[in-house]
A and B are shown apart, each in its own frame.
Chain A
Amino acid sequence: MRSRVVVFLAVLLLTLASCGGAVTISPSPSVTASSFPATLSDFQNRSVTVPARPERLVSIGPSITAFLFALGAGPRVVGVDDFSDEPAEAATREHVGGIKVNFEKVVALKPDLVFSVKFSDGTIEKLQAASLNVLVVDPQSVSDVAKTATLLGKAVGADGEALARSIQQRVDAVKAKTANVTNRPRVYHEIDASDPAKIFTVGPGSYINDLIDIAGGTNIAARAASAYPQLSAEEILKTDPEIIVLAADAYSPKPTDVAARQGWSIIAAVKNNRIVTIDPNLINRPGPRVGEAAEAYAKLVHPELFR
């Protein structure tokens, strides 16, 4: 139970850490290929019928918001969660809460379609009980991203396939570069080291684990038991990462702090001065910028491929 709370906190921190940043993918032309009514299967395998082209959208989830704007449905978005700030225009919409959704606000916005990430506290059921049409969209991996673009395209009546293709092309371009690398350096990606003895990192099933893979690296926690496992300092020393990646915000440790940690001087990444930082806005959200994120990560792991 405790570890769940901790994982939740870690995910929360991730979300909080990814504030700010601009979207670089230009809106695809919304040539309506889809038709209404549309019956869709969402990320919880629920069957959701959208009777007509939705005109008032509420998005609970920063990456969903980014997708909706990338699909050209931005003008129809009337409400977003408190963390949605990509693109900058999204933050100007009515806020409907963050960790706790403000149901009254959502209902007051009179949305004809609500998008939400998964919640384990009954939020989805409460939204439905308020007679709202809810589509659960919760991309967690790189392959989910193209799927999300297609699904959201169908839901709002935009060309999701085209967005999915352009995202996939960019990801594939990075994959092609790293496909034939002979060495896959051991990567340790730090999420939070508030307690330096037990540090949160990314494990299998997490989005960043996918990015490390695509970037041609080997995640040192690839065989951990959960998506956001805790590693002890002992384990990090033992696995001897060749690259340490910090998704650094203002409060995160700096590379010099990491190098100065007790005992860490024997780690290859510290010896070879390969402690690098990456923009958390870019890599924490499985959104339309995934191609850009994969490329940025690959540049850290295999700089020689991008000369």
Chain B
Amino acid sequence: MRTIGILTVLAVALVVSAAAGILVGAVAIGPSDVVAALFGSNDVNGTIIRELRLPRVLGAALVGGSLATAGALLQGLLRNPLADPFVTGTSAGATLAAVGAIALGASAPIVPLAAFAGALVAVTIVWRLARLGGSTTVLTVLLAGVVLTSFVGAVVTFILVSSDRLALRLRAVLGWLQGGVSVISWEELAVAAVIVAAGFGFALFLAHRLDAYAFGEETAATLGVDPDRTTTAVLAATALLSGAAVALAGLVGFVGLVVPHALRFAIGATHRRLIPASFFAGAAALVLADLGARVLVSPAEVPVGAITGLVGAPFFLALLVRSRRVVV
């Protein structure tokens, strides 16, 4: 009962944020015109709402929800509240592939596809490395992810420094690295939604196993949860979720770290509740962050990654301070 109550509150928050995101934009359109536009009015307002604002808001919701869900999964698997969706190297793989694609002169829809493929390849590499000893241990997942991320960071720095020689479109790369949902086509949105739905369904299916993980890998094993298979399954689910997110929006930080972390404080660590709650809260958070990105310095825009960092980092610190007080 409590679960349903929490989820209802978060779902309502998401709907309210989305409504705000659709009502407010660079061009002032009155609420009645917005409603008319949603129901197919055939003028310029209709196009602005249906082709620009609505996909943008839905994209932000999808990205925020995916990142927060992936964060919740990984924090549960690694039993580490500092885990974010990129800890398994997805951001590194996606970045390398996307920057490489931009350097080769590709644009939409090749860049998001490359990013998604890069994210999957990176998780696969991390997973293979983690399995070298025979079984998959979470510590090796973490280490392999960190090493891969640092390595790719160095490679990308090298590419950026030699951007002159590569005739790289530096602004396109920087825009991608800063993260943003700006313009998303309905086709991209539909493909991403299918991937996210698969990842999210998988995540719900894994919820009870992650609960067993809270007591450690050995205890989980005695509870009948195969740590090897569970690690693999969780990695696969997070790869789908964060891969789709980076493909749509580039590197958006902090949502996947802060949202599940905060929810753990607020509603407890039961994954059956935490996973859907993370999706709704993450979605609402990124829709609001994107709204902020659009209106704060209007008519210009801030990259949404800057907003999530600006709000997320102090929020995370506040949680940290509070958790210390509780412990002491």
**Chain A residues in contact with chain B, CB under 8 A?**
2-3, 6, 9, 13, 192, 194-198, 225, 229-235, 237-238, 240, 250-251, 253, 257, 261-263, 266
Contact = CB atoms under 8 A, between A and B. Distances in A.
A225 B169 CA distance: 27
Nearest to A197: B182
Interface stretch (B78-86, B134-142, B293-301): B293-301
17 contacts: A2-B300, A3-B297, A13-B171, A195-B182, A196-B183, A197-B56, A197-B180, A198-B182, A229-B299, A230-B299, A231-B26, A234-B48, A234-B53, A238-B48, A250-B167, A263-B48, A266-B47
Contacts of A6: 300
B301 A234 contact: no
Contacts, number: 83
Given A232-B26, A262-B55, A263-B48, A194 B183 contact: no
B169 A2 contact: no
**A192, A233, A250 — which one has the most chain B CB atoms within 10 A of its CB?**
A233
Interface string B155-181: 000000000000101011001000010
B48 A194 contact: no
A262 B25 contact: no
Nearest to B102: A194
Contacts of B171: 9, 13, 192, 194-195
B299 A233 contact: no
Given A194-B171, A195-B182, A235-B27, A230 B301 contact: yes
Chain A's interface: helix, strand, loop or mixed, by majority?
A: mixed
A263 B186 CA distance: 11
B301 A262 contact: no
A3 B56 CA distance: 23
A-B residue pairs, 3 tightest by C-beta: A263-B51, A197-B182, A232-B26
Contact of B183 (A233, A235, A240): A233
B228 to A, nearest CB: 43
Contact of A237 (B44, B182, B184, B186): B44
B175 A194 contact: yes
Nearest to A252: B169
Interface residues of B, number: 31
Interface string B14-49: 000000000001110000000000000000100110
A263 B52 CA distance: 7
B107 interface: yes
Given A194-B175, A232-B301, A251-B167, 18 more contacts: A3-B300, A6-B300, A194-B169, A195-B182, A197-B183, A198-B182, A225-B299, A232-B299, A233-B183, A234-B26, A234-B27, A235-B26, A235-B27, A238-B27, A262-B52, A262-B186, A263-B47, A263-B50
A3 B297 CA distance: 9
**B27, B172, B175 — which one has the most chain A CB atoms within 10 A of its CB?**
B27
Contact of A261 (B53, B183, B184, B297): B183
A13 B169 CA distance: 11
Given A3-B300, A197-B182, A198-B182, A232 B175 contact: no
A231 B48 CA distance: 14
Contacts of B186: 262
Contacts of B167: 250-251
A3 B300 CA distance: 8
A238 B302 CA distance: 22
Nearest to A261: B183
Contacts of A232: 25-27, 294, 299, 301
Nearest to A6: B300
